[in-house]
Amino acid sequence: MIGRLTGILLEKNPPQILLDVQGVGYEIDVPMSTFYNLPHLNEKIVLHTQLIVREDAHLLYGFGTHDERIAFRLLLKISGVGPKLALSVLSGLSLDDLADAVANKEAGRLTKIPGVGKKTAERLLLELEGKFTVTGRGFMQGAVVSSAGGDIVNALQALGYNDKEADWAAKQLPKEVGVSDGIRQALKLLSKA
């Protein structure tokens, strides 16, 4: 997995850029929110990335912030939302605006994004409800605010539990719990449920 790249910006052709990382040129698709904040050509940048492997291609997506990448991953989990549509959503709305639209169930704001029709907007609102909020401290996924909580959720998902089960179990744990203890406690909770 390619999680982050640091390199020299060689080309900007929206929504794609070319990044030179020690002599290797990576073509990376970025949302317009990231694109507008790019430095001038031949300057150094750092991008958080997501690699999508398909049968016919390996596609690399880049984000100026870790929060944008988290939102991209959340969008990809929604049925019918692929990387292009997820990138379009992040290009059409800031994270604050997306969180606000979801919280207020404003499908009209989402339908203004190219590629998002009424049914897709309603599905996005339904699937994203309660999944994230944007606060002054940054992007938060669900009610799990500690880094240990996020690790616990990821571990439970890797063990085969779905998003709802993993989130529910993590929310039941004390905030100060460590990762290994949290996983053990969450597994006990899930076995009783």
How do residues 111-125 score in pLDDT, each as one tens digit? 999 989 999 999 999
More confident position, 129 or 75: 75
* 108, amino acid identity: G
pLDDT band (50, 70, 90) for residue 143: very low
How do residues 57-82 score in pLDDT, each as one tens digit? 999 999 999 889 989 999 998 888 99
Query: What gap in Å lies between CA 90 and CA 32, rounded to an integer?
Result: 8
- For the chain, domains (ranges, CATH) are 4-63 (2.40.50.140), 67-130 (1.10.150.20), 147-192 (1.10.8)
| For range 33-52, the mean pLDDT | 94
pLDDT at 145: 39
Specify the pairing of strand 58-63 against strand 4-13: unpaired
CA dihedral 95, 101, 103, 105 (to 10 degrees): -150
pLDDT at 41: 96
Query: What gap in Å lies between CA 124 and CA 115, rounded to an integer?
Result: 13
- One DSSP character per residue, 58-124 reads EEEEEESSHHHHHHHHHHHTSTT--HHHHHHHHHHS-HHHHHHHHHTT-HHHHHTSTT--HHHHHHH
What pTM value is reported for the model? 0.70
Query: What gap in Å lies between CA 72 and CA 62, rounded to an integer?
Result: 10
The proportion of the chain whose per-residue pLDDT surpasses 90, expressed as a percent, equals 48
Query: What gap in Å lies between CA 83 and CA 75, rounded to an integer?
Result: 8
